[in-house]
Each structure stands twice: as structure tokens, then as C-alpha cells.
Amino acid sequence: MVDVTRIVIIGGGPGGYEAALVAAQLGAEVTVVDRDGLGGSAVLTDCVPSKTLIATAEVMTTFDSSYEELGITIADCSQGPSRVLSVDLGKVNRRVKRLAIAQSHDITQSVTRAGVTVLRGKGRLGAGGQHVDGSREVIVEHEDGSAESLRADAVLIATGCHPRELPDAQPDGERILTWTQVYDLEELPRELIVVGSGVTGAEFAGAYQALGSEVTLVSSRDRVLPGEDPDAAEVLEEVFRRRGMNVMSRSRAETVKRISARTDAAEGPSSPEAGEEGRVGDHVEVTLSDGKVIRGTHCLMAVGSIPNTADMGLEEAGVKLNDWGQIQVDRVSRTSAPGVYAAGDCTGVFMLASVAAMQGRIAMYHALGDAVQPLNLKTVASNVFTDPEIATVGYTAADVSCGKMDAVEVKLPLRGNPRAKMQGIRDGFVKLFCRPGTGIVVGGVVVAPRASELIHSISLAVDNNLTVEQVASAFTVYPSVSGSTAEAARQLHIRKREIPDS
Ligand SMILES: Cc1cc2nc3c(=O)[nH]c(=O)nc-3n(C[C@H](O)[C@H](O)[C@H](O)COP(=O)(O)OP(=O)(O)OC[C@H]3O[C@@H](n4cnc5c(N)ncnc54)[C@H](O)[C@@H]3O)c2cc1C
């Protein structure tokens, strides 16, 4: 018998709906309040749509970059356009949206089947604070304007975040876009400027380049993907440039303006050849901090995100936020207010769907008195869905160089891997980190096509404190890209003996 039975969850993304399923399994009475649809931004606008778009881009890149080397010829290629493949973006985007809505629908069905009540509306904490019985009030504002009050023994806030906008670069949903707006495009942007070279910017820049756009990537840092393994980021930037992307490093976008056809009409007539996409005058101008101006047909802003924590009665209820508005939580997802938990992007702990889901489940195990293991971020596997993909787990090169972890590393370029050679894969590597002396695997990076699938063996090793000897002794298929993981482990077995444990 548990004390806490009424659970109200605000936000139905992975942080919210996974928590709801666990809480229902544990016998609680669960209500999820969501304003946009279950699955959250992860399913409706962010993770699922972007990976569905990338699925098309992946086919294009794989074909475009390897067909010649693999001996494939296209009959009428010499007469056609210089590019073998082209894309119908309207069709791609309709598929993206269809899959997203279907997945949201599937999630709603499984959550309601588990006995969870789903309410469509906006939730916030009631002003009254905690009642004498320890319960709290959640106010739900329904879409029709009516309001409802719910009582909860524990509340989980899992409201996610939304794209950050710059005051001088306001999205219009047509030419200046956030990542949630790109799926309404019917035609492929001819010249796309992507502002921001973090994971989201890099993924979209790579995808649109593969789909056929001319892409300029504006990066305020020295290198793309500043938060990732530097060797991996270097490989990706090199591949981007080789494929013709204009990567502008150390360039900060100050303003983004749409110059409409009408504004331009005063300056002269449009070119007769220019179609809808290329109408002279209907373009965007991005002004950089050094005064330089770059032009394109579209601009995608990928400059970070803002947590959805405003106007929710959080601070009034004693929930502490940090300077960025993110909810502060401990490793079992507790906030500073008793009975209020938080999970996912609104906490800023690690902006991944898998981490949001884990935080949500942990919150419910804790609230409902079940056995709970605190969140361990050192075993989180993550992936950048570019081509090649970059998958990472455990301690990083930065952790090693700043002294946070004492580790030895081996990096094996895929150029030497037999399967990679057969498949015409030249870019990428497998990198492993292990403790000197004991040889316990503490981290790894894979840069390869489908690195997201290849990282799992390293994740298992990191999660279970396996040694490089144990990783090396497991069979791999010959020929396989994962053979490089075993080979890296074999090389580390020798290297770790050269450096004593400190
Ligand atoms: C372009 C992009 C691609 C990504 N790709 C990946 C990926 O491949 N893999 C990965 O692991 N992660 C990926 N992420 C990150 C991932 O999408 C997030 O980490 C994940 O969505 C976080 O889940 P969440 O439950 O915290 O919030 P969300 O998924 O944002 O869900 C929050 C929900 O709460 C609702 N809500 C907000 N306020 C209220 C309110 N007051 N009342 C009621 N409802 C409210 C929202 O409408 C939304 O439905 C990506 C992110 C972006 C931007």
C-alpha cells in the first residue's frame, strides 16, 4: 500500500508520458495534462520529425556519395541534371507530419489503455501551496477557456522547452524559420542559411545539403558541434566542406531580415527565369557581427531553447529555477518544493528524450515509494544524426584533458576497417577510453554511418564496468564495423599497461 496515489503530470512528452505509464503500473491514479498532444515536442516537432526528414536525407547521401565507387551507373545520368536524385519536399514533409501524428496517437492509446486520464489544456500549480494533507492543487485551463482544479499527492512538471528567438531575427514561418516550422515547406529551400552549429543546426544543415539545398552554416565558434568530441567535430566539418557546404566559423549572426519581393520591386523587375523559390527580392539577409551580409532564400534559426516554465506558478509554490529559467532538480527528480518533481528539458539536465523519460520514471518510483536508482548521466548514450553520425557514451575527451577522469585512449580510423572499405566508407573512427591499470572502459565515441546502433556495445561496457579485455574477447562478425571496437579494446589492453593507474 503506498501513501501517494493521485499523480498529476503537466506535459505529455517523453518525460511526462513515460512517467504516467510507470505510475499507472504502480497503481496510482494518474492524470496527464498536455496542451499540444501526447508525445510532446519530441514526437510532434523535434526528435521524431527531424529523424524522419533525415531518413530521406540519409538515402540521398548514401546513394550520392557511394554509387560511383560501388560501380552503380544510372542510364540517363549524362543527359539529366548534374545530381542523380532529387526530392519532393512537400511529399517528404507530409510523410513527416503523418508519422508524427500517428505516433502521438499511438502513445495516447497506450497511455489511456493503462488507465491514465489525459486532459487537453494548459496546466499550472495552484496558488495555495501545499495543503495540510501534503497534497497540491493543479489548475487546468481547457482549450474552450474553462478551468478545472485537480488535487495531487505528487505533481510532475515535464513541460519541455521551445526554440529561442533573437529579437532581430524574428521567424515568419516562411523564410525565417525555427526547427518546428520547417515541415510546412512545400519546396526545397534553394539557398538555406542555418544559424547555429550545435546538434540541431548541424543535423538540419547536413540533411538539407543532402536533400539538395545550397547550405551556409553560420557558427559563432571555432568549429561546428562545440559540445562534442573535437576529433568527431573535425571529421564532420571536413565532410560538410568537402560536400560543398559553406561553413562560416567564428561568425555571429546579429540580424536576419526578409527582403520581400514587393520591397525589391522598386529596385527593378524580377528575373523572368526566377520561379517561386528564386523570385528576385524574396530572400533573406543575415548580417554578421563583423558587418558582413550573407544572402539566401531561407534561414533556419537554431540558437538554443527556452524552458517552458513561465507563468506556471512554480516560484510561488517554492520551486527554484536557475538563471535560465530551468527547474533545479536532484538525481531523483525532486524540486525544492515538497511533492513537486520535474523531468526533461524544463530541467536542462541533459536535453535528450531518453534522459527526460528516465527522469520521469525515476520521479514516479520515488514518489510512489518504489526502489529507485538515482540518475547516472555518465552512462547516457547520445547521437548526432548527421552523415556520418556521431555517437558518444561516458566520459569524454574534455573530461580527460581537464583531469576529471584519468583515462587512456585509442582512436582507430574506419579507413582501416575491412567492412568500411567494402562499403566505400572513408570518414569516421572508433575511439575508446579506459582507466590506466584496471582497463575499465569509461567512455567511447563512434563516428560512422549508423553510429547510433554501433555505440550500444560500448554503452554496455561503460554501464557494467567491463574491462577492455572483456570487450576484446567477445566475438564480432567478420567483416563488420563493430570489429573496430574490439580492435580498439585490444590495442588499449597493450596501451593501458604503459601508463600506471594514478
Ligand atoms: C530538432 C530536435 C531534434 C531532437 N532530436 C533528438 C533525438 O534524436 N534524440 C533525443 O533523445 N532527443 C532529441 N531531441 C531532444 C528531445 O526532443 C527532448 O529532449 C525531449 O523532447 C524532451 O522531452 P520532455 O518530455 O522534457 O519535453 P517535450 O517533448 O518538449 O514535451 C513537453 C510537452 O509539454 C507540453 N506543455 C508545455 N507547457 C505546458 C503546460 N503549461 N501545460 C500543459 N502542457 C504543457 C508541451 O506542449 C509538450 O507537449 C531533439 C530536439 C530537437 C529540438
Rounded Cα–Cα distance for residues 464 and 442 (Å) = 10
Distance from the alpha carbon of residue 334 to the mean position of ligand 1, in angstroms? 19
Answer yes or no: are the C-beta atoms of 125 and 317 closer than 8 Å.
yes
Ligand 1: residue whose CA is nearest its atom 30: 160
Answer yes or no: are the C-beta atoms of 359 and 174 closer than 8 Å.
no
Q: What is the mean pLDDT of each run of 10 residues along the chain (502 residues)?
A: 77 98 97 97 97 94 85 65 78 96 98 98 89 91 95 97 97 97 97 98 97 96 95 98 96 94 51 44 91 97 98 96 98 97 98 98 97 95 98 97 96 97 95 96 98 97 97 97 97 81 53
Cβ within 8 Å of residue 380, ≥6 positions away = 350, 352, 354, 355, 393
Please state whether 440 falls in left (phi above 0), alpha (psi between -120 and 50) or beta: beta
Answer yes or no: are the C-beta atoms of 436 and 501 closer than 8 Å.
yes
Give the number of residues written for the chain. 502
Does the beta carbon of 452 lie inside 6 Å of ligand 1?
no
**Alpha helices, DSSP H only, in 114-171?**
none
Does the beta carbon of 13 lie inside 6 Å of ligand 1?
yes
Find how far residue 197's CA is from the centre of its chain. 13
Distance from the alpha carbon of residue 442 to the mean position of ligand 1, in angstroms? 29
For residue 269, the model assigns a pLDDT of 45
- Give the atom of ligand 1 at the shortest distance from the alpha carbon of 162: 30
Does the beta carbon of 178 lie inside 6 Å of ligand 1?
no
Does the beta carbon of 201 lie inside 6 Å of ligand 1?
no
For residue 274, the model assigns a pLDDT of 43
Query: Which of 47, 183, 383, 392 for mutating ligand 1's site (highest number of atoms within 8 Å of CB)?
Result: 47
Nearest to residue 386, comparing CAs of 61, 36, 6? 61
Does the beta carbon of 108 lie inside 6 Å of ligand 1?
no
Dihedral sign from CA coordinates of 473, 479, 480, 481? positive
Give the predicted TM-score (pTM) of the model.
0.93
Distance from the alpha carbon of residue 357 to the mean position of ligand 1, in angstroms? 10
Distance from the alpha carbon of residue 459 to the mean position of ligand 1, in angstroms? 24
- Give the atom of ligand 1 at the shortest distance from the alpha carbon of 352: 19
Place of cell 576529471: 404
Rounded Cα–Cα distance for residues 399 and 394 (Å) = 10
Q: Give, in order, the Cα–Cα distances in Å from 420 to each of 137, 231, 264, 472, 481.
A: 58, 19, 51, 19, 6
Does the beta carbon of 312 lie inside 6 Å of ligand 1?
yes
Cβ within 8 Å of residue 442, ≥6 positions away = 394, 395, 405, 407, 433, 434, 435, 462
For residue 337, give the 3-state DSSP assignment. coil
Ligand 1: residue whose CA is nearest its atom 53: 46
- Give the atom of ligand 1 at the shortest distance from the alpha carbon of 37: 49
Rounded Cα–Cα distance for residues 369 and 332 (Å) = 12
Distance from the alpha carbon of residue 159 to the mean position of ligand 1, in angstroms? 8
Rounded Cα–Cα distance for residues 310 and 297 (Å) = 34
Answer yes or no: are the C-beta atoms of 101 and 183 closer than 8 Å.
no
**Identity of residue 77:** C
Does the beta carbon of 141 lie inside 6 Å of ligand 1?
no
Cβ within 8 Å of residue 243, ≥6 positions away = 65, 209
Rounded Cα–Cα distance for residues 428 and 42 (Å) = 28
Distance from the alpha carbon of residue 314 to the mean position of ligand 1, in angstroms? 19
Distance from the alpha carbon of residue 410 to the mean position of ligand 1, in angstroms? 35
The tens digit of pLDDT for each residue in 305-319 reads 999 999 999 999 999
Rounded Cα–Cα distance for residues 239 and 264 (Å) = 36
Distance from the alpha carbon of residue 354 to the mean position of ligand 1, in angstroms? 11
The neighbour count for residue 297, using CB atoms within 10 Å, is 20
